Structure 1
């Protein structure tokens, strides 16, 4: 798997996981699925960071999003 794709999927999944955790907490339930999604997202982000020599910087992330989405649109 491409590390850039793994990073993008991980960032999107962590955003969805946080939304799910907040929504589940507000309804008074235990956010099991949100935590499972957060763990999977964390694994994707760690995988991407380990596979790319030197890792990623915060300034690179918007460009990576653009290149991954642009690759799917072409």
Structure 2
């Protein structure tokens, strides 16, 4: 940037800590139940997809699901 006929450098610094904390909180809210803080169905679906992709040839996996409604 030229100022009064001489070149100058301009540096802008932003602290992104608050933004990253907010993004992490939003991600947590999207994947957990607000009342119990337990993982929700979206979290389960993402996790089961990861586990299936990580399976090697000839390997298998199992899942045990409990329904806690009216427990």
Structure number having the greater strand percentage? 2
TM-score between both structures, scaled by the size of structure 2: 0.31
Bigger Rg, which one: 2
TM-score between both structures, scaled by the size of structure 1: 0.30
Structure number having the greater helix percentage? 1
